[in-house]
Copies of this chain bind each other. A is one copy, B any other.
Amino acid sequence: MKPVNVGIVGLGTVGSGTFNVLSRNAEDIARRAGRAITVTHVGARRDNPNADTSAVKVSRDVLQVVEDPEIDIVVELIGGTTLAKELVLKAIHNGKHIVTANKALIAEHGNEIFTAAQNKGVNVSFEAAVAGGIPIIKAIREGLSANRIDWVAGIINGTGNFIMSEMAEKGREFDDVLKEAQELGYAEADPTFDVEGIDAAHKLTILASIAFGIPLQFEKVYTEGITKITREDVSFAHELGYRIKHLGITRQTDTGVELRVHPTLVPASQLLANVDGVMNAVMVHSDAVGPTLYYGPGAGAEPTASAVVADVVDVARALTTDPKNRVPHLAFRADSLSDLPILPIEEVETGYYLRMHAKDQPGVMAKIASVLSKANINIEAIIQKDQVDDTSPVPLIMLVRKVIESEMNAALDTIRELDVLVDDIVRIRLETLVH
Max chain B CB contacts within 10 Å: which of A28, A313, A319?
A28
Cα distance A331–B125 in the bound complex, in angstroms? 12
Residue of B nearest to A151 (CB): B433
Q: Is A252 in the interface zone, CB < 8 Å from B?
A: yes
What are the residues of chain B within 8 A of A363 when measuring CB–CB? none
Within 8 Å of chain B (Cβ to Cβ): is A293? yes
* Distance in Å: Cβ of A150 to nearest Cβ of chain B: 8
Interface positions, chain A 415-435, Cβ under 8 Å from B, are 426, 428-433, 435
Which B residues are in CB contact (< 8 Å) with A132? 289
Asked if A303 and B290 make an inter-chain contact with CB atoms under 8 angstroms apart, the answer reads: yes
Known pairs A140-B331, A306-B289, A343-B256; A430 contacts B297 (CB<8 A):
no
CB pair B115–A334 under 8 Å, yes or no, is yes
Stretch at the interface among A52-60, A81-89, A210-218, A368-376: A210-218
Q: Which residue of B lies closest to A316 (CB)?
A: B145
A323 within 8 A of B: yes
Q: How far is the CA of A257 from the CA of B340 in the complex (A)?
A: 7
A428 to chain B, nearest CB (A): 5
A209 to B426, CA, bound (A): 32
**In the bound complex, what is the Cα–Cα distance between A379 and B133 (angstroms)?**
40
Inter-chain contact B274/A433, CB cutoff 8 Å: no
The 8 Å CB contact of A331, one of B97, B210, B252, B315, is B210
Residue of B nearest to A284 (CB): B296
Q: Are B296 and A289 in contact (CB under 8 A)?
A: yes
A431 to B433, CA, bound (A): 30
Tell me whether A253 is interfacial, beta carbon within 8 Å. yes
Of the candidate stretches A2-10, A189-197, A347-355, the one touching chain B is: A347-355
CB of B240 within 8 A of CB of A310, answer no
How many copies, total?
2
> Which of B247, B318, B327, B348 sits near A258, CB closer than 8 Å?
B348
A42-50, A174-182, A262-270, A386-394 - the one binding chain B: A262-270
Choose from B148, B260, B342, B353 the contact partner of A220 (Cβ within 8 Å): B342
Given A262-B429, A264-B431, A355-B232, A341-B290 contact (CB < 8 Å): no
Cβ of A170 within 8 Å of any chain B Cβ, yes or no, is no
B428 touches A229 (CB 8 A): yes
- A270: B residues at CB distance < 8 A: 433
> In the complex, are the beta carbons of A146 and B339 less than 8 A apart?
no
Query: Contacts A213-B338, A253-B343 hold; do A240 and B327 have CB atoms under 8 A apart?
Result: no
Nearest chain B CB to A94's CB is how many angstroms away?
A: 15
Question: What distance in Å separates the Cβ of A272 from its nearest Cβ neighbour in chain B?
Answer: 6
- Chain A 131-148 interface 0/1 with B at a Cβ cutoff of 8 Å (1 = within): 011110011111111111
Residues B145 and A247 in contact, CB atoms below 8 Å apart: no
Check if B289 sits within 8 Å of A146, measured CB to CB: no
Closest to A245 in B: B431
Tell whether A330 is near chain B: CB-to-CB under 8 Å. yes
Q: Is the CB of B259 within 8 A of A342?
A: yes
13 contacts between A and B (CB under 8 A): A114-B330, A133-B288, A141-B328, A214-B337, A214-B338, A215-B337, A233-B428, A264-B431, A265-B399, A285-B433, A289-B306, A292-B296, A323-B323
Interface residues of A (CB under 8 A from B): 17, 21-22, 24-25, 28-29, 31-33, 97, 110, 114-115, 117-118, 121-124, 127, 132-135, 138-148, 150, 153, 209-217, 220, 222, 228-230, 232-233, 236-237, 239-240, 242, 244, 247, 249, 252-253, 255-260, 262-267, 270-272, 274-275, 283, 285-297, 302-303, 305-310, 312-315, 318-319, 322-332, 334, 336-345, 347-348, 350-351, 353, 355, 381, 383, 395, 397, 399, 426, 428-433, 435
Enumerate the 4 nearest inter-chain pairs by beta-carbon distance, A residue then B residue, closest first. A135-B143, A146-B309, A213-B332, A292-B296
